[in-house]
Structure 1
Amino acid sequence: MSRDAETIRVYGAEAARYADVTKDAAKDPVLRLFLDHLAMGSHVLDLGCGPGIASAAMAAAGHTVTATDATPEMVALAAAQPGVFARLATFDDVTDVSAYDAIWANFSLLHAARADLPRHLFALVTALRPGGLFHIGMKTGEGSQRDRIGRLYTYVTEDELTGLLQEAGLTPFETRTGADAGLDGTVAPWVTILARKTTDG
């Protein structure tokens, strides 16, 4: 997660409600697609894990899961999920080198400042093993603003996000789009992209 204090505060105050809103996350077809592309027994980083529902689904599928979030209340919820190791961390705390077979960054990096996205993506690609799988979900649009409950968002276009991933050393191969209501009740468009780290990177 980002270091934005207000965003972290909102997630802490709304942790239980957020867990309820996302309780069906394990059924998300985008998560199922991610799991379908994972080799058995992969080590996955769930970046900005929230209550850890996706992490638990990964663990149940036989993968080793390291889950991180900048909100203590979310880390506590994720740590209670079977098979999930959860720790408190911001995006800046990802300093691993070739540590993970896959990274699940599902609607977490949208809370990073736009200027910081390239370096965060570079750090994540560095943390991936060659050929590693990378998933990202972002809300689409332009600019940055706070939502109705105070969370800071950076919006991207599909082309912008694809370019950022390619510049970081990833090869996108599957893109999906849609629109859903979030925690603040606003329906917003989104894009998810599945990519792989170049094998010689």
Structure 2
Amino acid sequence: MPTKTLSYYNQNAQSFSDSTLNVDMSALYAEFLPLIPKHGHILDAGCGSARDAMYFKQQGFTVSAFDASENLAKLASDYLQHPVEVKTFQQLDCSNQYDGIWCCASLLHVPKNELPQVFVNLQNALKPNGVLYVSFKYGTQERVHNGREFTDLNEAGLTALITQHTEFKIIKQWQTVDQRPGRESEVWLNALIKAVPVL
């Protein structure tokens, strides 16, 4: 994660966590969780407050989580009552481990030129037929906003990344509006992506 963005999250960890903890994500859970085996292992990658990891845990899934921000990871560990690792997507280095990986509003801080390798890391970490959920702010540019760096993607941009660099298959892409009060004008790109077994 860019240093500027990491500093933002470390300095604003508590307020960021508080502002996201109670956002209703049920519509997104309803898309993702039916694709994960019962009691399957889900990685909440870039977990922030651990809001989603907590929900998955309550539904009986095995949950792992990490965040690049040391301060956010500490808050998330306390909330989840489970260790949350401090690491980046670039440091994700495992294979065939997860039934599902949840990247909710987290990959959008990865510089665009690093996304191909990050998607390969995610592909390696998933079991065959594992499912990846990702969300990006809708657009085509790299930009700085409120002290954080963003990579925006639309359907064509995400499709190009996936088809050119991975064995992934996109199951579904759709747009949603931000669920936080006062942010309804912000559009998100959501996608469900499957790890296709290599024959």
- TM-score between both structures, scaled by the size of structure 1: 0.90
2:121 paired residue number: 123
Q: What pairs with 1:175-194 in structure 2 (closer than 5 Å)?
A: 175-180=173-178, 187-194=185-192
2:169 maps to 1:154? no
Match in the other structure for 2:47: 49
8 Å contact kept, 1:131–1:198: yes
Superposed counterparts of 1:82-97, under 5 Å: 82=80, 84-97=82-95
Aligned mates of 2:182, 2:152 — CA distance in 1: 16
| Fraction of identical pairs, as percent | 25
The answer to whether the 8 A contact 1:18-1:183 is kept is no
In structure 1, distance between residues paired with 2:111 and 2:16? 22
Q: Under a length normalisation based on structure 2, what TM-score does the superposition of the two structures give?
A: 0.91
CA RMSD of aligned residues (A): 2.1
Q: CA deviation at 1:27?
A: 3.6
Displacement after TM superposition at 1:141 (Å): 1.0
Pair 1:41–1:83, CA change in 2 (3 A): farther
* AA of the residue aligned to 1:196: K
Aligned twin of 1:30: 28
Alpha-carbon deviation of 1:136? Answer: 0.5
Which residue of structure 1 lines up, in the alignment, with residue 111 of structure 2? 113
The total of aligned residue pairs comes to 198
- The 3 A distance-change label for structure 1 pair 25 and 170 is farther
Unaligned 5+ residue runs, structure 2?
A: none
* Conservation of the 8 A alpha-carbon contact between 1:26 and 1:53: no
Asked if 1 retains the 8 angstrom alpha-carbon contact of 2:132 and 2:194, the reply is: yes
Shift of residue 20, structure 1, vs aligned partner: 2.1
- Note the residue ranges of structure 1 that are not aligned, 5 or more in a row: none
Name the amino acid aligned to 2:32: F
